Amino acid sequence: MKKFFISSIVISILAIIAYLFSALYSTHQIHKGIYYNDKTLIKEYIEWKKFRQNLKNYMNVNLLQEIQKDANFNNLGGLGVLITGFASKIIDSILDRYVNSEGLSVLLKKNQLAKKLPKPSFDTLIGGFKIIKFKNYNSFIINHTVNEHEISLLFQRIGIDWKITQIELPDDLLNELKKTYFNKIETKRSKLYH
């Protein structure tokens, strides 16, 4: 009876360690995939179908909120609803086409923010304990700050693997991207006319 009790405790402890290590290992693999721009790791540790759907929902909600703020757009009535639906379909189509491991790889090549991350090592693997915040036994969140903007990655357990299923972007990030985009257009336009 005593052997059974000790064995049960040892097995329980090993199961908890394996559970925690699997979460750490997945975050480390994503870190390596982003840092080294490894398409295979990126493809394996992101649940693309759920990720795309969550990103579509996020973008469409933000589009709707922005449109509702615009008084001129509200005056369009039924035409405004039609335009919103059309814009939503365009967003969905763009996300379906470009939100995948290849698209993320191209984005990582053009953007050097990934190189500002610490180089993946045993220390960063173990350091994952500090950044993982479990929501429940099937999901956890990692918050990362980029240029004073906090981005949250939601990992969900799928079988024995942990995969990214959602990204939460700060509200002001979209406004900042919009301003940056329009500033680039203005700069190009002014260069053409001068």
pLDDT per position as a tens digit, 89-142: 888 888 888 888 888 888 777 776 667 788 899 988 888 888 899 999 899 999
Cα gap 46→84, rounded to integer Å:
29
Cα gap 186→105, rounded to integer Å:
28
Taking CA atoms, 81 is separated from 88, 89, 175, 178, 190, in Å, by 10, 12, 22, 22, 34
Cα gap 145→124, rounded to integer Å:
16
Strand partners for 36: none
pTM of the predicted model as reported, rounded to 2 decimal places: 0.74
Instruction: Report the mean per-residue pLDDT for the chain.
Output: 81
Q: What is the reported pLDDT for 184?
A: 54
Extents of the domains making up the chain: 2-193
Q: What is the reported pLDDT for 68?
A: 73
Query: If pLDDT is split at 50, 70 and 90, which confidence band does 176 have?
Result: low
Sheet holding 132-136, edge to edge: 132-136, 139-146, 149-158, 161-168
Query: If pLDDT is split at 50, 70 and 90, which confidence band does 192 have?
Result: low
pLDDT per position as a tens digit, 38-78: 889 989 999 999 998 988 888 888 777 777 777 766 676 66
Q: Burial letters for 11-35: b for 16+ Cβ neighbours within 10 Å, e otherwise?
A: eeeeeeeeeeeebbbbbbbbbbbbb
Lowest mean pLDDT among 14-23, 74-83, 90-99: 74-83
